Amino acid sequence: MDARRDHRPVPEATALDEDLLTADQICAKLSGHQRGEVPIGASALTMFIDVQAKCLFWLVAAWEEDFTGYVIDYGTEPDQKAAYFTLRDMRRTLGAAAPRAGLEGAIYAGLERLCERTLGREWRRDDGAMVRIDRCLIDANWGQSSDVVYLFCRQSAFSGVLLPSHGRYVGASSLPFSEYKRKRGDRVGLNWRIPVVTGKRAVRHVVFDTNYWKSFIQARLAVPMGDPGSLSLFGHKPERHQLLAEHLTAEYRVKTQGRGRTVDEWKLRVDGLDNHWLDCLVGSAVAASMQGAVLFGTDHKAPTGRPRLRLSEHQRGRR
């Protein structure tokens, strides 16, 4: 839903928003690569799936080791076959695609179709080499779909690539990720961690700080084209990405102080505004950090225990 088409008040831009790009400015950040094409400098290919009752929003991004990023594809499952739509008014739904299934069965079937179409294929790099997605995170926060997401990640043919994810709203008054007591077996990265798990959900999952990573993504979008750490969109036509850009600008930030620190807290500009591809891009960046991407100046790099391989070397190792 575009706030410009809505009559409810939208928070005015503050001085803090001046370094955030507008929707039109985001649309203009084009890499010139074809849809689905992986830039040759990319060392990781990541994906995130946002789970809703009506559909799955998804996004695939390619990342260089310095966190220069490229959105190479995105969409919904089922495909809406429209340039503009909102979740509220969506016609092509998971339920309609699986009429005999309940909510969980419809979500499971949608995940199967989507992952077969994205994880089950090779993606062409611009030098002609073929690569695959290294890591795909699936949103497991919504209570009604959480169990089926864990089940799918455990049973899927792509279980080695999939990981359930939980975004956590870490405000100024919350305990920051840096102060969590690390347990033996935990994997810890830049405002994300993969805790040791036992019991019913014996599937590892990742937990991340949504406020931190939303600020991280907005900063990447604001970096000029050509500079390290910049984030761009595929293609040559800005209008192609108008709906994506509306999702990416659906939230504003408020600087808040607490526990001796100042943090950005992100809030929807209008209740009910669609921000699902923003969540997907944030999750894709978290997945890139898990795969070894490091922004210059961020001092936390999770040890992997082995040298980081480029994406091309990963592919050769799988053959």
Q: Is residue 60 part of a domain?
A: yes
In a domain, 214, yes or no: yes
84 in a structural domain: yes
- pLDDT tens profile 241-272: 999 999 999 999 999 988 788 899 999 999 99
On the question of pLDDT at 311 being above 90, the answer is: no
Task: Report how far residue 57's alpha carbon sits from residue 250's, in angstroms, rounded to the nearest whole number.
Answer: 15
Most confident of 8-22, 26-40, 163-177: 26-40
Our count of domains for the chain comes to 1
Domain annotation covers residue 295: yes
pLDDT in tens, 130-151: 999 999 999 999 989 999 999 9
Give residue 284's domain range: 13-314
| Average pLDDT for 85-97 | 96
Q: Does any domain span residue 134?
A: yes
Average pLDDT of the residues of the chain:
89
- 307: pLDDT strictly greater than 60: no
Q: Decide if 2 is inside a domain.
A: no
What would the mean pLDDT of 103-113 be, rounded to a whole number?
A: 98
Kindly state whether residue 319 falls inside one of the protein's structural domains: no
User: If you compute the radius of gyration of the chain from its CA atoms, what whole number of angstroms results?
Assistant: 19
Q: What percent of the chain has pLDDT over 70?
A: 87
Cα 38 to Cα 192: distance, rounded to the nearest angstrom: 26
Residue 5 has pLDDT above 70, yes or no: no
pLDDT at 13: 42
69: its two tokens:
């990023």
What is the pLDDT at residue 164?
98
pLDDT class of 227 with cuts at 50, 70, 90: very high
Residue type, 197: V
pLDDT value at residue 200: 62
In a domain, 4, yes or no: no
**pLDDT bracket for residue 201 (50, 70, 90):** low
